[in-house]
Structure 1
Amino acid sequence: MAGALALAVLLAVASLHAEAVWLDVPQSGTKCVSEEIQSNVVVLTDYSIMYESHPYSHPTIAVKVTSPYGNTLHHSENSTVGQFAFTTAEAGNYVACFWVDSAEKGSGVSVNLDWKIGIATKDWDAIAKKEKIEGVELELRKLEVAVQAIHQNLIYLKERQVVYSTSL
């Protein structure tokens, strides 16, 4: 049980950070990423095509983000750069899919994806300026918010464990 709790805390802490990834999107086909997120969590994402592999062409991509129940939260076409933001309405797996939608032939594109969830979405510089806090006080505020997020994640994981146990 202690090992499961340690794993839960580790997963909760890991989920507090932003994740930046590069996706290799094939010329024909789709590349998707997903994240299991609780309800009432802010998600901010920036994406852009990396042009190093395409110095003379300008391919574009399409993006579609869906909720666990299949609702479209963001849809964009003919993009080279973009962003989406939403607050999760339900807990579950949120999926972002990318595909090349330009007519230019090539081997696909690389997409830089900066996916921020929860407290990673906070603009701490603006908060510090507004509330006139800095140094240790600011770091303590960040830790307080992180502890609250970890606590909420542990409650969520415990509820999921109870639901899973009763469904067996």
Structure 2
Amino acid sequence: MFIILVLLVSLHRVNGMRFDIKTGATKCITEDIQPISLSVGKYSIVNPDEDYPLPDSHRVTIRITSPFGNNCHYAERKDNGSFAFTAREDGDYMACFWVAKHNPPATLTVEFDWRSGLAAMDWPNVAKKGQLETMELDLKKLFDTAIIIHDEMYVLREREESMQTLIRSTSAKMATFSFFSLIVCLAVAAMQLWHLKTFFEKKKLI
């Protein structure tokens, strides 16, 4: 029961944040996403003075890559934007922001909201389009939640099996290494004894 509650909390996680980035610098953020999960996000540069538009130098370039380095989203010199993609790989996806150098240097504040899994679904829009009643919408949420929890557990089981295989392989290699190390130590000890015996015999001490 506790594991299910933890999974429910993680599935409803929303990554909304605000961070500063200097011109000429790069800022990267990672998100662990399961395969076949929807991922959506939006970003914008905060305008410190709403009476004036942002200068052309206040633009960011964003690239989102999968764990295997495939591009999921790329946008160049934007003051705001959004993205959406379906994850095809399991692992950490990385969103990197880069700001071109500017003289004099400046610091930009970026608002970034990244959602994945169940949190990425637009439930009010689904209810509006499908004309669902409140109970029907709740049931659909629970159904989708159950599916995602099932997929999460399947992925966790695969990871556990992979870790068990790695542990067994490592243990077997360590046992083999320990055996050969013991053989080498015994051989070295035997050679030392033989050398000492030969030395004492030459000196006619024994």
TM-score grouping bracket, smaller chain normalisation:
0.7 to 0.9
Q: How many residues align?
A: 164
What secondary structure sits across from 2:48 in the alignment? helix
What secondary structure sits across from 2:104 in the alignment? coil
Encode CA deviations 1:118-167: one digit per residue, 9 max, x unaligned. 22222222322333322222222212212221221122112112211211
Q: Which residue matches 2:17?
A: 21
Q: Which residue matches 2:63?
A: 64
Which structure 2 residues correspond to residues 97-136 of structure 1 after superposition, within 5 A?
Answer: 97-101=96-100, 103=102, 105-136=104-135
Tell me whether 1:156 sits opposite 2:177 in the alignment: no
The structure richer in helix per residue is: 2
The structure richer in strand per residue is: 1
2:45 alignment partner, one of 42, 46, 49 = 49
Structure 2 counterpart of 1:60, which letter?
Answer: R
Q: Which residue matches 1:10?
A: 6
Q: CA deviation at 1:89?
A: 1.1
**TM-score scaled by structure 1?**
0.84
- RMSD over aligned Cα atoms: 2.4
Aligned CA distance change for structure 1 residues 111 and 53 (closer, same or farther; 3 Å): farther
Aligned CA distance change for structure 1 residues 39 and 103 (closer, same or farther; 3 Å): same
Aligned CA distance change for structure 1 residues 106 and 82 (closer, same or farther; 3 Å): same
**Which stretch of the first structure deviates more once superposed, 45-54 or 144-153?**
45-54
* Structure with the larger RCO, 1 or 2 (CA within 8 Å, 6+ apart): 1
Aligned CA distance change for structure 1 residues 103 and 17 (closer, same or farther; 3 Å): same
**TM-score scaled by structure 2?**
0.70
Encode CA deviations 1:64-94: one digit per residue, 9 max, x unaligned. 1111111122221111001111111111111
Q: Which residue matches 1:40?
A: 36
Structure 1 residue runs without a partner (length 5+)? none
Q: Which has the larger radius of gyration?
A: 2
Contact 1:68 1:91 in 2 (8 A): yes
